[in-house]
Amino acid sequence: MNEILKMSMNEMAEADFDCSCGRHHSLSIKKIAIGKGVIQQLPDIAAEFKGKQLYMISDNNTWKAAGEQAFKILSDSNFEVKSHQFETGTEILIPDELAMGRMLLEMPLGTALIVAVGSGTLNDMAKYLSSRTGIPYIIVCTAPSMDGYVADGAPLICNGRKISYVATLAYGVVGDTDIMKQAPMHMIHAGLGDVLGKLTALTDWSLAVAMIDEYRCETCVKLVEEALRKCIEFAPALKERNEEAILYLIEALTLTGVTMAIVGVSRPASGSEHLLSHYWEMDFIARHKYPELHGVKVGIATPIVAEIYQLLDDELPPETKALAPQREVVEALLESAGAMISPKEVGIDRDLFYRSLMEANTVRKRYSVFQYAKDKGRLEEIAGIITERIYGK
Ligand SMILES: NC(=O)C1=CN([C@@H]2O[C@H](COP(=O)(O)OP(=O)(O)OC[C@H]3O[C@@H](n4cnc5c(N)ncnc54)[C@H](OP(=O)(O)O)[C@@H]3O)[C@@H](O)[C@H]2O)C=CC1
Ligand SMILES: O=C(CO)COP(=O)(O)O
């Protein structure tokens, strides 16, 4: 097996190896610092850019969570930093054309390094800007809410559609667990949802191997499975913000990010549960409704996808059948941490829910259990059964 399986998260920066899957993998992130108090390492991590212009982006919440502190640490070390804070008020920041345009407009001339302070949205915006300008970026993570800190894709909203743009990896990732563990509990639930989504994402990947002979990297599967195991064991302790439970959550999010980064696609971390989440999100945004956190939606979608697998059990390829998680087990895990499990709780009505099951396979050009059910002529029947179970007759 490959040496990456023995590395700690922080050792994975600049990993470069020939993998047993037959491909060469490399992780171009220069510096990963995840742990207690690591925000103090910012001046070291950004050392190469001393004397040059830094551009810090945050929003009013993430400024309070870590932006102010990061700004002070850098300024006290004589870095030249211009800060722009998005004012989100009661709204949330949507990574769309408007927000992307504003971020570009505020960027000072001669910027040599972008420093994003936030979670999924700000990270994706910064990585997109970084990829298109060639200016490196550092992410100071504020919440263990999703697994995109180490990934190179940037799901953004363009013309109302959620599009995963190919972007770039961060120059540096700074995940101070003292800061991340203080994130709102709802964001911690989102992180757990995003991690549990890997149960069905990996099942979809195995289905794609069986049905369309898709490439699969066993090292990535092992990394995700091991991270999942520890995170699941400690899931109930997330309610109390138990240090170990939060650390395992951060580790699972980081390692799944690493797998996306080394294979260059989000397949190891994103399957049918993400298709449902993206479908709901686009519908909410089109109606100017709060779209709910990504990981919360992924968490709700995961037992639903598990149920689809259960309903197809009699005709699944054996290797996929062996992997398919049980709906009840995933729901119990979410409940043990206090997270939501019903689409009704986030305002998804019967019509949207049924439609999403029927159309989720159109969200991405990627083989999924939705495509499988459709090809077997069973999608309509399954969508009807699940909708009736949740919403009644
Ligand atoms: N690139 C990738 O591979 C991945 C990308 N994603 C993307 O990430 C996005 C979701 O990210 P997610 O992190 O869930 O949500 P957001 O980044 O949208 O965060 C929601 C809001 O939470 C607030 N917030 C963040 N940290 C803190 C904190 N410590 N204390 C208080 N408030 C805080 C911010 O305030 P405010 O309300 O002011 O905005 C923030 O905008 C989606 O667009 C999703 O598609 C998800 C997974 C992987
Ligand atoms: O959100 C993701 C992983 O958690 C990635 O989403 P996409 O697969 O849609 O790019």
Q: How far is CA 50 from CA 58, 60, 111, 187, in A?
A: 21, 26, 12, 33
168 and 223 in a common domain: no
147 and 226 in a common domain: no
Q: What is the pLDDT of residues 92-149, one digit of tens each?
A: 789 999 999 999 999 999 999 999 999 999 999 999 999 999 999 999 999 999 999 9
Average pLDDT of the segment spanning 68-93:
93
Closest to 385 measured CA to CA, from 311, 330, 329, 321: 311
Higher model confidence: residue 390 or residue 87?
390
216 and 173 in a common domain: no
Average pLDDT of the segment spanning 211-215:
97
150 and 21 in a common domain: yes
Which two tokens mark 93?
């920041």
- Whether 269 is in the pocket of ligand 2, judged by its Cβ within 6 Å, is yes
Which residue, of 130, 163, 180, is where some domain finishes?
A: 180
- The predicted complex's ipTM stands at 0.95
Closest to 41 measured CA to CA, from 2, 13, 3: 13
- Whether 59 is in the pocket of ligand 1, judged by its Cβ within 6 Å, is yes
Q: What is the CATH number of the domain that holds 314?
A: 1.20.1090.10
- Whether 193 is in the pocket of ligand 1, judged by its Cβ within 6 Å, is no
CA 235–ligand 2 middle distance (angstroms): 22
Closest to 184 measured CA to CA, from 139, 144, 140: 144
Secondary element (H or E) of residue 58: strand 53-59
CA 95–ligand 1 middle distance (angstroms): 10
CA 245–ligand 2 middle distance (angstroms): 23
47 and 171 in a common domain: yes
Which residue, of 139, 163, 180, is where some domain finishes?
A: 180
Judged against a pLDDT cut of 90, whether residue 89 lies above it is answered with no
The domain total for the chain is: 2
311 and 242 in a common domain: yes
* Nearest ligand atom owner, CA of 58: 1
Coil, helix or strand for 33?
Answer: strand
Q: What is the pLDDT of residues 345-364, one digit of tens each?
A: 999 999 999 999 999 999 99
383 and 273 in a common domain: yes
CA 288–ligand 2 middle distance (angstroms): 22
Q: What is the pLDDT of residues 286-307, one digit of tens each?
A: 998 999 999 999 999 999 999 9
Single-letter residue type at 23: R
Judged against a pLDDT cut of 60, whether residue 1 lies above it is answered with no
Question: 223 lies in which domain range?
Answer: 185-391
Q: What is the pLDDT of residues 64-77, one digit of tens each?
A: 999 999 999 999 99
Distance CA 211, CA 307 (A): 20
167 and 146 in a common domain: yes
Average pLDDT of the segment spanning 320-335:
96
CA 145–ligand 1 middle distance (angstroms): 7
- Whether 299 is in the pocket of ligand 2, judged by its Cβ within 6 Å, is no
Angle 374-376-381 from CA coordinates, rounded to 5°: 65
Single-letter residue type at 202: L
Q: What is the CATH number of the domain that holds 84?
A: 3.40.50.1970
197 and 336 in a common domain: yes
Distance CA 391, CA 393 (A): 7
- Whether 181 is in the pocket of ligand 1, judged by its Cβ within 6 Å, is no
- Whether 140 is in the pocket of ligand 1, judged by its Cβ within 6 Å, is no
| Cβ-Cβ contacts under 8 Å for 325 (sequence gap 6 or more) | 199, 200, 203, 302, 306, 309
258 and 124 in a common domain: no
233 and 340 in a common domain: yes
Which residue, of 180, 208, 228, is where some domain finishes?
A: 180
66 and 25 in a common domain: yes
Q: What is the pLDDT of residues 19-53, one digit of tens each?
A: 999 999 999 999 999 999 999 999 999 999 999 99
